[in-house]
Structure 1
Amino acid sequence: MTTFLLVPGLYLGGWAWEAVAAELTAKGHRAVPVTLPGLGERAGEDAAGIGLAEHADAVAELLDAQEPGVVLVAHSYGIFPSVAAVDRHPEKVARLVIVDTGTPETGEAVVTLMPHLLEAADGPVLRVPTGLDPVHGVPEAEEERYLRLITPHPLRTVTDPVELTGAWLKVPTTGVFCLANGLSLEVARALYATGAPRFAKLAEPGVTFFELPTGHYPMLSTPVELAEVLVGAAAGEGRSLLGD
């Protein structure tokens, strides 16, 4: 049995992982969907007082409460608090699975990489989206649930820089690329070919990759397939960057 800690992206709570968690549980594993401070059922918390450190603390506390061998799954924005937590507790994590996003460098904020997010700033929060692009392949019923359950996202979590020691780099990782959103093994190979130090880890032993023919929200569009990928990732399966 593997424990999967499931960290969501912007605007989402642990509810976004319900279908994936059910699939993992049916396969005999333990799934722990995470709702970060100020989001989901915790949306009543003071958004102005919640920054990236509070989100990183929340993930780190959950990690600290588990036995070693956790597979930490981070979707999109979730990689920022997740990589900060892994950096503190690398001994707890058997594998970091990165769903349709990259990894930050120390000192970077989410808006460093995605400055357009500031267009949604409304006081201490980011306003919720009005819908999902059809390219993401989310079924109508799931999109309706998404729009009903998403909550404004604390602004400081995307403007605060992440501080890392580099300890997380020793943890095996798996990238899950969602092809309809533009990320793929081909893109990763092109990034690695630039020779930029931040992409060196992509080709290291133990780093694997999967591709899913869906958009940026595979937990909503293809939960069964995503659960299968997560189980495979936990077993060290997947393609290497340069091996095929």
Structure 2
Amino acid sequence: MATFVLIPGMCHGGWSFEPLTDLLRLHGHRVYPLTLTGVGERSHLLGAGVNLDTHIQDVVALLAAENIEDAVLVGHSYGGMVITGAADRAPERAGSLVYLDAVVPRHGDSCWTLVSDQERAWYLDVAETGYAVRPLPFFDARATPHPLASLLQAIRLTGDLSRPRRRTYVYAAGWADQSPFTPVYQRLRDDPEWTTHALDSGHNLMRDAPDDLLKILLKAL
């Protein structure tokens, strides 16, 4: 039995991993689909101080509270920032990292610096509070504004991210227009330290290709 910790992208909660969560549990694995502070059912915690460090701590605290070791950390989109930081802060608890059409930061990167101008324009569409980005119109009805500070804050990495024994990248090749994650995939597919996959799917891989994702996640164990 393995333990999967699933981290959603911007504006989404742990529910965005349905039905993948159910499929993993049917195979006998422990699964923790996590909603980050200030988003989804935790939107009441949204404030100007909620940033990337807050979200990384969400994961680190879960790993400690549930006494999880050798976790498979799975991050979708923005969630790539979070699982990278969590693996750096709690390397003894992170066994594998799986990035689902996600950013893969190095020390000093932020989500803002890693995406295209199109995504930056979206980030500037803030809600009335001034510190949260509005969901895009086609998002799930449950989506809520996302903390802007988490997108602007640079990640601080202090350790060796080669410690997790497996690193996997899943690229969504079915974007209707240019994907901001194409350069990431092109960089990693020739790196022998990474396993890469390309799926004929839109950005929401969990909704559009759960069966293919299941096979990839089981290989990441």
Short-chain TM bin = 0.7 to 0.9
Q: Give matches, 1:148-187, under 5 Å.
A: 148-171=141-164, 172-181=166-175
Q: Secondary structure at the match of 2:45?
A: coil
Match of 2:191 among 193, 203, 227: 203
TM-score by length of 2: 0.87
Quote the Cα distance in structure 2 between the aligned partners of 1:188 and 1:83: 14
Q: Give the percent of matched residue pairs that are identical in Structure 1 and Structure 2.
A: 33
Quote the Cα distance in structure 1 between the aligned partners of 2:46 and 2:3: 30
Offset of residue 97 of structure 1: 0.4
Q: Is residue 111–residue 117 contact of structure 1 (8 Å, CA) maintained in 2?
A: no
Offset of residue 189 of structure 1: 7.5
Query: Which structure shows the bigger proportion of residues in helix conformation?
Result: 1
Over 3 Å counting, the alpha-carbon distance change for 1:49 and 1:188 in structure 2 is: closer
Offset of residue 81 of structure 1: 1.6
Q: Secondary structure at the match of 1:228?
A: helix
The answer for the alignment partner of 1:124 in structure 2 is: 131
TM-score by length of 1: 0.79
Larger Rg: 1
Q: Is residue 70–residue 95 contact of structure 1 (8 Å, CA) maintained in 2?
A: yes
Are 2:220 and 1:222 equivalent residues in the alignment?
no
Output the amino acid matched with 2:142.
Answer: L
Quote the Cα distance in structure 2 between the aligned partners of 1:77 and 1:188: 13
The answer for the alignment partner of 2:22 in structure 1 is: 22
Cα-to-partner distance string for 1:100-126 (whole Å, 9 max, x where unaligned): 123112112111123333332231100
Are 2:193 and 1:191 equivalent residues in the alignment?
no
Indicate the larger mover: 207-216 or 156-165: 207-216
Aligned residues: 210
Unaligned runs of 5+ in 2: none
Quote the Cα distance in structure 1 between the aligned partners of 2:184 and 2:46: 38
The answer for the alignment partner of 1:141 in structure 2 is: none
Offset of residue 224 of structure 1: 2.4
Cα-to-partner distance string for 1:11-42 (whole Å, 9 max, x where unaligned): 10001112111000011111110000001110
